[in-house]
Amino acid sequence: MNEPARPSHQIDTSVAHSARVWNYWLGGKDHYPADQAAGDAYSSKYPHIVPFAGESRDFLRRTTTFLVREAGVRQFIDLGAGLPTSNNTHEVAQRIAPDCRVVYLDHDPIVLLHVHALLTSTPEGATAYVQADMRDTDAVLAGAAETLDMTQPIALVINDVLGHIVDWSEARGLVRRLVDRLPSGSYLSLSHSTAADQEHQAVQDEYNSSGAIPYIFREPSVAIELFEGTELIGPGFTSWPRWNPDANTGRLTDRAGWGGVARIS
């Protein structure tokens, strides 16, 4: 796959960006003073946000491990990849099965600046990047088809990004369109943040009104609708650390974010 074109417009590093703030909370290195300031402002009012970010990332590690080791998946589409940190999808998958092929998708120019860090791969596998809006189903699947065999099972990974789509029907619709076009035997791995408490919601509301890219919390009873038409597998749709915890899983919580893995018939 050819290296994606660099963004044509200037990136303003003096203004905080949600992807870089998240990267900061995760201990990454792709952020600037404005992002650190925004992240510190949020965490000073709601300190739990930093471990919550870690819980989300660890959910991705455990679900990817399950998909490769237990479900035998060797192909992945990761929507809204964000900025690379540690335990990216391809790193987790290829550590277990070097022949895994992973396609990341994002349309954010911030991510494009750092895409070279994602485009690493084992010699046996492949890692590629598609520049497209995840709501553009045709572009997503056409780009993935350049690297993946679209007749064989694929894991669709949507890790904590659908809150950026404000309209609920639009979020549900994009998941349904993609799931309906994946081959039988594929999987959906999906998570979504929710408000841990009223204080968490208040701080998020303040962040959303600051001019930053908003993120909409949704209750688990609502977010589970994203799995409609699929078969949730154990332990079902649950809070991040309660989904098959292992020795590296931190504290168990029932809020902050929920996720699950489902089989596509």
Query: Tell me: the pLDDT tens digits for 224-233?
Result: 999 999 999 9
Q: Is residue 154 part of a domain?
A: yes
DSSP string, 49-107: HHHHHHHHHHHHHHHHHHHHHTS---EEEEES--S--SS-HHHHHHHH-TT-EEEEEE-
Confidence of residue 41 (pLDDT cuts 50, 70, 90): very high
Q: Is residue 115 part of a domain?
A: yes
Give me the domain span that covers residue 142: 55-196+216-264
Amino acid 3: pLDDT: 40
Q: Is residue 153 part of a domain?
A: yes
CATH code for the domain of 63: 3.40.50.150
Q: Count the domains in the chain.
A: 1
Q: Is residue 113 part of a domain?
A: yes
Give the whole-angstrom CA distance, residue 158 versus residue 125. 21
How far is residue 18 from each of residues 11, 45, 119, 156, 238, measured CA to CA in Å? 13, 17, 22, 23, 25
Q: Is residue 7 part of a domain?
A: no
How far is residue 128 from each of residues 61, 116, 144, measured CA to CA in Å? 19, 10, 8
Q: Which has the closest alpha carbon to 60: 164, 215, 191, 197?
A: 191
pLDDT digits (tens, 9 = 90+) for 100-148: 999 998 877 777 677 777 778 999 999 998 888 889 999 999 999 999 9
Q: Is residue 132 part of a domain?
A: yes
Q: Is residue 77 part of a domain?
A: yes
Q: Which stretches of 160-256 are assigned E, i.e. beta strand?
A: 186-193, 231-232, 238-239
Amino acid 11: pLDDT: 66
